[in-house]
């Protein structure tokens, strides 16, 4: 009888889930039972024992470090975007007053080779009767695989030395191995064109690169070319 009564009076065992649910429902439990903190011991991976307060401090410190790292990355990205925006704005300003192909040629060289630190820049304009000879503007089809001509969005590619030389012609310097290029298609009424921005760095223009600014350049260049082709 006594043993049976003892079994009935024993407290039921709680599962970990029940304990966790209770603590989440009562976040002030340890405030009301501070003496319990000194009796709770957590085991580190290193084997050292620590109180729940020490573990909580460590957790919060690690969380703050992650937040600091994320904030630093966001600030760096914001500064980079601000710098790119400043360069894009300068490019827009220079193109507003362009009245000749020669001026466009000089603007492309100045802003992309100098401001954007590109190694090569070439603008191909198809279906044009112009016979001008310019360093960075060619009135002919772009020399690249047909599969890369069909898309309307900017495209980042890694090309071999021979492919880069076919694309950029005499302005390309051989002996660089694999390089990268950003190809920006643009349209001007019944004319189609491509702006190719090349780099000796094979990783500079890659598939993970954000192309929002490149799309803006496409729209801007299309308007300028349309004006000059009139």
> Is a pLDDT exceeding 70 seen at residue 65?
yes
Would the pLDDT of 8 be above 80?
no
Q: Report the number of distinct structural domains present in the chain.
A: 1
90 within domain boundaries: no
Residue 83 lies in a domain: no
Residue of 86 and 73 predicted with greater confidence: 86
- Under 8 Å between Cβ of 203 and 178: no
Within-domain flag for 80: no
The helix/strand count (H/E) of the chain reads as: 8, 7
Residue 123 domain-assigned? yes
Asked if 213 contacts 92 with a C-beta cutoff of 8 angstroms, the reply is no
Length of the chain, in residues: 230
Give whole-number Cα distances, 62 to 52, 54, 68, in Å: 15, 12, 10
Q: Would 92 be classed as within a structural domain?
A: no
Would you say residue 73 lies in a domain?
A: no
Task: Write the CATH number for 152.
Answer: 3.30.450.40
At 197, the pLDDT band (50, 70, 90 cuts) reads very high
Q: Of the ranges 15-19, 22-26, 74-78, 104-108, which one carries the lowest mean pLDDT score?
A: 74-78
Cα torsion for 167, 132, 100, 190, to the nearest 10°?
-70
Question: 8-12, 45-49, 132-136, 175-179: which has the minimum mean pLDDT?
Answer: 45-49
Structure confidence at residue 40 as a pLDDT band (50, 70, 90): low
Residue 151: CB partners within 8 Å, gap ≥ 6?
A: 185
Answer yes or no: is pLDDT of 50 > 60: no
pLDDT at 46 over 60: no
Q: Per residue in 49-85, is it b (16+ CB within 10 Å) or e — as a string?
A: ebeeeeeeeeeeeeeeeeeeeeeeeeeeeeeeeeeee
What digits encode the pLDDT tens for the residues 105-162? 999 999 999 988 999 999 999 866 677 889 999 998 898 888 788 778 899 999 999 9
Q: By residue range, what is the domain housing residue 101?
A: 97-229
Q: Say if 191 falls within a structural domain.
A: yes
Is residue 152 domain-resident?
A: yes
Residue 132: the pLDDT is 82
């Amino acid at each position: 009888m006594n043993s049976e009564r003892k079994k009935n009076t024993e407290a039921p065992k709680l599962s970990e889930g029940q304990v966790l649910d209770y603590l989440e429902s009562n976040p002030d439990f340890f405030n009301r039972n501070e003496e319990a903190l000194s009796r709770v011991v957590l085991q580190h991976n290193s084997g050292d024992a620590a109180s729940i307060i020490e573990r909580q401090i460590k957790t919060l410190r690690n969380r703050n470090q992650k937040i600091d790292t994320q904030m630093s990355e966001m600030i760096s990205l914001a500064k980079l975007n601000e710098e790119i925006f400043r360069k894009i704005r300068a490019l827009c300003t220079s193109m507003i007053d362009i009245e000749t192909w020669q001026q466009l040629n000089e603007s492309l060289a100045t802003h992309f080779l100098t401001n954007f630190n590109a190694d090569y820049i070439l603008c191909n304009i198809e279906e044009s009767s112009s016979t001008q000879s310019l360093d960075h503007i060619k009135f002919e089809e772009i020399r690249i695989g047909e599969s890369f001509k069909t898309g309307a969005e900017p495209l980042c590619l890694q090309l071999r030395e021979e492919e880069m030389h076919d694309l950029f012609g005499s302005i390309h310097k051989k002996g660089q191995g694999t390089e990268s290029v950003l190809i920006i298609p643009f349209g001007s009424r019944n004319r189609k064109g491509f702006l190719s921005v090349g780099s000796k760095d094979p990783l500079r223009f890659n598939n993970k690169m954000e192309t929002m600014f490149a799309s803006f350049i496409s729209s801007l260049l299309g308007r300028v070319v349309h004006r000059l082709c009139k």
